[in-house]
Amino acid sequence: MEPIKVGLLGCGTVGCGVFIVLRRNQEEIKRRLGRGIEVACIAVRDPAKARAALGDAVGSVRLSHDFMNVIDDPSIEIIVEMIGGTVLPVI
């Protein structure tokens, strides 16, 4: 079964923490849900800074400077918003 694809909006302190926790707990999530979880795309202000913060863990995760790329991606099933101080439109 295909993993659940997750999109993250923001990759500051909280966003990086969520990304790391999701990666670290992949096996337990898969055991409990019966389906894996995969962070497919992260919207960030500065992709180079996010790449540096996440290091090798970023792997094949797409980084985008436009949060609408994450929201409009039909393959993403769950979106986690962690952009401090920014109001996003309700969709």
Residue 86 lies in a domain: no
In a domain, 24, yes or no: yes
Q: Quote the CA–CA distance of 83 and 32 in Å, as a whole number.
A: 28
How many structural domains compose the chain? 1
In a domain, 3, yes or no: no
User: Distance between CA 57 and CA 20 in Å, rounded?
Assistant: 8
pLDDT tens digits for 6-41?
A: 999 999 889 999 999 999 999 999 999 999 999 999
pLDDT of amino acid 83: 86
Distance CA 36, CA 82 (A): 22
Residue 72 in domain: no
Report how far Cα 58 is from the mean position of its chain's Cα atoms: 10
Q: Tell me, yes or no, whether 88 lies in a domain.
A: no
Q: Which structural domain, as residue segments, surrounds residue 17? A: 10-62
- Extract the runs of DSSP E, i.e. beta strands, from the chain: 4-9, 37-43, 62-64, 78-81
pTM for this one? 0.86
